[in-house]
Amino acid sequence: MSTLVISDLHVSVETDQGTKQILKGVDLTIEQGSIHAIMGPNGSGKSTLAYTIAGHPKYHVESGSITLDGAQVLDMTVDERARAGLFLAMQYPVEIPGVTVSNFLRTAKTALDGEAPALRGWVKEIRESMAALRMDKTFAERNVNEGFSGGEKKRHEILQLELLKPTFAILDETDSGLDVDALKIVSEGVNRAKANTGLGVLLITHYTRILRYIKPDFVHVFVDGRVAEEGGPELAERLENEGYDRFLADASVG
């Protein structure tokens, strides 16, 4: 059973106005096989947490640590993080001109495993996952993220998740821009990955809508760069009814 531990994490970025502190002491422990929702108002630092786990060079870790089964994630390159079992789906995925989905997936899988996947099984697996995500076969031959609609980008993320089989996935605003049908399909994919491979998920979301389809085991409310409150699924229901006002009032006093 793998564990991802974030301890007293402080993160800053350089802006035109100087150094800006964004994360101000984040503590979070995620066990494999459980789903943690990170919820919070815009600007509270949710994406910063995702980028920091991903190793984005813009985000400077001032202090604290992120460990995966005791190994320092912060000392790992981005590739090493992926090989260690971390999967990051970004709020704004990048285009990769000239690289098809099919080639991209095979290259990523080969890099992760250290050897190319056996062709027949691999082709079958891609076909099955694409069918489950209701993706047209021709999608595999399109260039990564080039001209993808919002829904296609998200499905492509979940396709990666199903095929690359990470230990932990960080999903940042996976629900944004999805209609209900696409949201259900994407959510089912995440639930399948949890059931099939014991995936642990850090599900970052501003809205409670996706939590109707992906049931969180734990909910953490993020305010002003730290976890302000945590609880079970009932906390998401409270936020759905009450919004973030109570927390924002608290933050401005402190």
- CA nearest to 108, candidates 160, 155, 146, 35: 160
Q: Scanning the structure block, which residue is given the tokens 């390159």? A: 77
Compute how many other C-beta atoms are within 10 angstroms of the C-beta atom of residue 39: 26
Residue nearest to Mg ion (CB): 47
Q: Please give the Cα distance from 193 to 184 (Å, whole number).
A: 14
| CA distances (Å), origin 176, targets 5, 91, 104, 122, 210 | 27, 8, 24, 30, 9
Which two three-digit tokens encode residue 105? 């997936």
d(CA 152, CA 173): 14
Quote the least distance from Cβ 87 to ligand ADP, whole Å.
Answer: 18
* Candidate residues 25, 43, 177, 243; the one interacting with ligand ADP per rule CB under 6 A: 43
Residue 17 found at the interface with ligand ADP (CB under 6 A)? no
Which of 130/210 has CB closer to ligand ADP?
A: 210
Strands in 18-31's sheet, in edge-to-edge order, are: 18-31, 3-15, 60-68, 71-72
* Residue 40 interface partner, choices Mg ion, ligand ADP, none, CB cut-off 5-8 Å depending on type: ligand ADP
**Residue 48, interface with ligand ADP (CB under 6 A)?**
yes
Burial class (CB in 10 A: 0-12, 13-18, 19+), 6: buried
Q: Is 47 in the site for Mg ion (CB under 5 A)?
A: yes
CB of 204 to Mg ion, least distance (A): 7
Which window, 43-51, 76-84, 123-131, 233-241, contacts ligand ADP (CB under 6 A)?
A: 43-51
Pick from 1, 18, 42, 57 the residue near ligand ADP by CB under 6 A.
Answer: 42
Q: For residues 50-109, which are near ligand ADP according to CB under 6 A?
A: 58
Q: Distance between the two ends of the chain, CA-based, in angstroms?
A: 38
Choose the contact partner of 44 out of Mg ion, ligand ADP, none; CB within 5 to 8 A by kind.
ligand ADP
Which region, judged by CB under 6 A, interacts with ligand ADP, from 39-47, 68-76, 107-115, 175-183?
Answer: 39-47
Q: What is the CA radius of gyration of the chain?
A: 18
Q: Does 212 bind ligand ADP (CB under 6 A)?
A: no
Q: Among 17, 42, 77, 241, which residue sits at the site for Mg ion (rule: CB under 5 A)?
A: 42
Stretch that binds ligand ADP, among 45-53, 99-107, 210-218, 242-250 (CB under 6 A): 45-53
**Residue 88: strand pairing partners:** 170
Which segment (14-22, 24-32, 98-106, 132-140) binds ligand ADP by CB under 6 A? Answer: 14-22
User: Which residues here bind ligand ADP, judged by CB under 6 A?
Assistant: 13, 15, 20, 22, 40, 42-48, 58
